[in-house]
Amino acid sequence: MSPDARGTKAPPLLVLDDIRKSFGAVAALRGVHLELHPGEAHALVGENGAGKSTLVKILAGAHAPDSGRMTLDGHPLLLRGPADARSAGIAVIYQEPTLFPDLTVAENIFMGRQPLRSFRRIDTREMNRAAERLFDRLGVRIDPSRPARGLSIADQQLVEIAKALSFDARILVMDEPTAALSGVEVERLFGVARSLCERGAAVLFISHRFDEVFDLCQRLTVLRDGAWVSSDRTADLTVDEVVRRMVGRDVASLYPKQDAPLRDTLLEVRGLSRAGVFSDVSFSVRGGEIVALAGLVGAGRSEVARAIFGIDRHDAGEVRVAGRVLPAGSPRKAIAAGMALVPEDRRQQGLVMELSVERNATLARRRALSRLGLLSGGAERAEARQWTTRLQVKTSRLAAPVATLSGGNQQKVVLAKWLATRPRILIIDEPTRGIDVGTKSEVHRLLSELAGEGLAILMISSELPEVLGMADRVLVMHEGRLVRELSRDEADETSVMFAATGQGATA
């Protein structure tokens, strides 16, 4: 069993010892150790493919380990399915909540366990009261009688946590819960997690964001290639040490930004406005330059990108590519002009998950790869191989469904799809959301290389270190307006956040 890095005599609530799991010839877990203590938040980190998801599915009862031992309160724990996990007090909160949108909040919480009154009719009033009591315990206000449709991701996750409490969950597994949340929503979620720990629950927190890991968690376990590497108190660790353990090597820099000669202006945005969304946005991007669009979630950054690319129409203003006005509302003409957009949501907007890697990588080039209206399979394969090789996409075969790839490799396929069009302007929205630190470094290196080749890059990111590490200039938005422009030398965490909260000088 792994050494107890906690330095306390309190016995662990849950122990996983020498857990192994294989899928065919692939060893997903190779002797993993994990201890969760009551009243403590414990981080689980590792690159994509390190085994985190498999371990979560074992805890959720979706997979059974091939070998190893699990104990709860010192007694052997056998999970034959998700119902056994719930009965044992284990609840999992995933990055994408799975609520029934047309049912009420209370109905989602008590699905299959609704309180009944006479003639076996559902007691809606009592169900709503019970949901209110759960939200009171969490210190949040959500109307139990409202439909789940339209709830923010943050509120959906709180509903999932309330559901976990209704099962008297003692162990809460949070798998990338903050990927789509704003800073305020993250802090509220962390407040709930801390209150659960104060009541004696154990929290297992999985995230690629080290600032959140060190803020919330008291202990940290590292996995690499399916194997346990270490478990230590977070107070005894640094980010650099955690990164070294995760990737098995020194990452010289997460942000390998190289200076590139600035070329002609390729993208000009003049007075772009859309009623109720953004107003009078003006900026330019030159070839060889990475310009970051920063701001809080809801500031209008993604909406500006969609309008520039023509997905959404704007009410006023214009977009120019290499000096020529781009017709509004036409992504096809934007592509023809040399523009590419890597969207924020790669699964819903960037990929067709049922299609193969090679088909996804060439979707934007199908016309060019066709002869007399027929797609050439050989040309498609050669094009896909060229870009997946350059981007170091890890896949067993190009014909494999893109859904089988890790999140980081899916992001690379989206990049491959658009780079295959040989764009002059690349708009990339949240380039490294939900991917591991090693892949982040690869994506950053690629962006720097592309800028060096003369591309104009507009990068939208909610990760401030990424903005500061990769951008030549930072444009800060607040409530739909561009409020400040900062050079690379001027930009720091204070100046960007000051402007993003509406306290900065007008650009």
Are the C-beta atoms of 52 and 76 separated by less than 8 Å? no
The domain 14-99+151-248 having CATH identifier 3.40.50.2000: the answer here is no
Amino acid at 139: G
Taking the C-alpha atoms of residue 171 and residue 200, their distance in angstroms, rounded to an integer, is 9
Lowest mean pLDDT among 250-254, 447-451, 488-492: 250-254
Helix, strand, coil in percent for the chain, rounding step 5 = 35, 25, 40
Here the tokens at position 31 are: 């002797």
Q: pTM for the whole thing?
A: 0.64
Mean per-residue pLDDT, 53-65: 93
Taking the C-alpha atoms of residue 218 and residue 263, their distance in angstroms, rounded to an integer, is 48
pLDDT at residue 482 is higher than 80: yes
Q: In percent, how much of the chain has pLDDT > 70?
A: 94
pLDDT band at 309 (very low <50, low <70, confident <90, very high): very high
- Nearest Cα to 90, choosing from 193, 14, 12? 14
- What angle separates helix 437-452 from helix 407-419, to the nearest 10 degrees? 10
Are the C-beta atoms of 302 and 344 separated by less than 8 Å? yes
Express each pLDDT in 152-198 by its tens digit.
877 888 888 888 888 878 999 988 877 666 677 778 788 888 988 99
pLDDT at residue 438 is higher than 80: no
User: Same topology for domains 14-99+151-248 and 249-338+423-506, yes or no?
Assistant: yes
Domain parsing of the chain, residue ranges: 14-99+151-248, 249-338+423-506
Amino acid at 173: V
Mean per-residue pLDDT, 261-282: 96
The neighbour count for residue 465, using CB atoms within 10 Å, is 15
pLDDT at residue number 463? 82
pLDDT band at 20 (very low <50, low <70, confident <90, very high): very high
Please give the DSSP secondary-structure letter assigned to residue 11. P
Give the architecture-level CATH label for domain 249-338+423-506. 3-Layer(aba) Sandwich (3.40)
Q: Would the CA dihedral through 210, 36, 12, 109 be positive or negative?
A: positive
pLDDT at residue number 251? 52
More confident site: 258 or 321: 321
Distance of CA 104 to the CA centre of its chain: 27
H or E element, residue 209: none
Express each pLDDT in 370-421 by its tens digit.
777 777 778 888 889 998 888 888 888 899 999 888 778 888 999 999 999 9
